[in-house]
């Protein structure tokens, strides 16, 4: 039975460039015991001209070390906003799911789809939570007429690679005017809103639940980190609470089949 898309409620409750090829290493990262940072082919890239680095680290793919093959696996996909709230999500899912993380500055494109396919090959995953869009607004990156088909195409990649995965979409957070944080950026934020509206149409039609991160932080200028794009701890905690609750809801919605738990 096809699931109806829903927006999870708001009351449910937060510089350096990647230089060169990241070597295989084992890290202890925010609850990811012995997390593996891997250079999945094409998945680790540079963002050279926006100044939107992932605070606290480089763009990367983190794989959780699996010790219990009966535990489901979750994939978080996102940009620097995800990097702000990922530790709290990992903590909330500790003992309940293994969490892999793909931090990327990529935007909807054929190049992104190829990298996404490589990342999904690290699965299978029971739930995939997607939160990207902060890097898709500059002129020329995504033509207006291409945004919708490109967004649909990356959903097709996920359905092909992880057909049993449950998907959750989190829309893009507001982009404030860094010279006056009481205002939305007059040039960038309208693009964010337009993309969020297209995403909502696509996800609703596809039965993908939506976490409305934009509305959660709209009007919360006191939580902005000062650059208009990034946020302070209270904002990331709020986003983390919503993301974790939605993921747990999807995991509990029906019994996860065994082949989505581990390779």
- The mean pLDDT value for 47-56 works out to 43
CB-based contact 132:173 (threshold 8 Å): no
What integer pLDDT is reported at residue 242 of this predicted model? 98
What integer pLDDT is reported at residue 6 of this predicted model? 52
Helix or strand run (H / E) with residue 100: strand 98-103
Write down the architecture of domain 16-32+55-260 according to CATH.
3-Layer(aba) Sandwich (3.40)
What integer pLDDT is reported at residue 8 of this predicted model? 47
CB-based contact 72:127 (threshold 8 Å): yes
189-206 helix and 144-161 helix, angle to the nearest 10 degrees = 40
Give 80-114 pLDDT, tens digit per residue: 999 999 999 999 999 999 999 999 888 878 888 89
Is the entire prediction scored with pTM above 0.85? no
- Give, as one character, the DSSP assignment of residue 31: T
Strand partners, 224: 231
Going by pLDDT thresholds of 50, 70 and 90, the confidence category of residue 260 is: low
Give 126-172 pLDDT, tens digit per residue: 999 999 888 767 766 788 888 899 999 999 999 999 999 999 999 99
**Average pLDDT along the chain:** 80
Going by pLDDT thresholds of 50, 70 and 90, the confidence category of residue 262 is: low
Q: Burial code of 92-116, b = ≥16 C-beta within 10 A, e = fewer?
A: bbeeebbbbbbbbbbbbbeebbebb
Phi, psi of 101 (to 5 degrees): -135, 130
Q: Would you mind telling me the total number of residues written for the chain in this entry?
A: 263
Query: CA-CA distance, 242 to 31, in Å (whole number)?
Result: 18
Query: CA-CA distance, 221 to 245, in Å (whole number)?
Result: 24
Helix or strand run (H / E) with residue 183: strand 180-184
SS3 label, residue 206: helix
SS3 label, residue 130: strand
Give the pairing type, strands 32-38 and 25-29: antiparallel
Give 183-215 pLDDT, tens digit per residue: 999 999 999 999 999 999 999 999 999 999 999
SS3 label, residue 187: coil
């Amino acid at each position: 039975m096809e699931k109806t898309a829903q927006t999870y409620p708001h009351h449910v409750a937060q510089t350096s460039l990647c230089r060169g090829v990241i070597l295989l290493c084992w890290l202890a990262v925010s609850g990811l015991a012995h997390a593996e940072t891997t250079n999945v082919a094409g998945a680790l890239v540079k963002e050279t001209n926006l100044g939107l680095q992932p605070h606290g680290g480089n763009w990367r793919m983190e794989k959780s070390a699996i010790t219990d093959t009966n535990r489901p696996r979750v994939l978080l996909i996102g940009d620097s906003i995800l990097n702000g709230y990922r530790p709290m999500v990992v903590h909330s899912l500790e003992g309940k799911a293994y969490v892999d993380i793909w931090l990327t500055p990529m935007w909807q494109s054929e190049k992104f789809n190829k990298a996404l396919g490589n990342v999904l090959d690290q699965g299978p995953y029971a739930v995939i939570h997607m939160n990207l869009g902060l890097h898709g607004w500059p002129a020329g990156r995504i033509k207006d007429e291409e945004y919708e088909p490109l967004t649909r195409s990356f959903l097709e990649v996920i359905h092909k690679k992880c057909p049993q995965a449950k998907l959750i979409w989190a829309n893009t957070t507001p982009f404030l005017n860094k010279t006056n944080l009481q205002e939305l950026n007059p040039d960038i934020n309208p693009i964010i809103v337009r993309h969020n509206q297209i995403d909502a149409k696509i996800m609703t039609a596809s039965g993908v639940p939506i976490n409305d991160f934009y509305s959660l932080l709209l009007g919360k200028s006191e939580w902005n980190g000062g650059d208009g794009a990034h946020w302070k701890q209270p904002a990331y905690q709020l986003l983390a609470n919503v993301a974790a609750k939605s993921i747990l809801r999807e995991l509990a919605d029906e019994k996860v089949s065994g082949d989505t738990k581990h390779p």
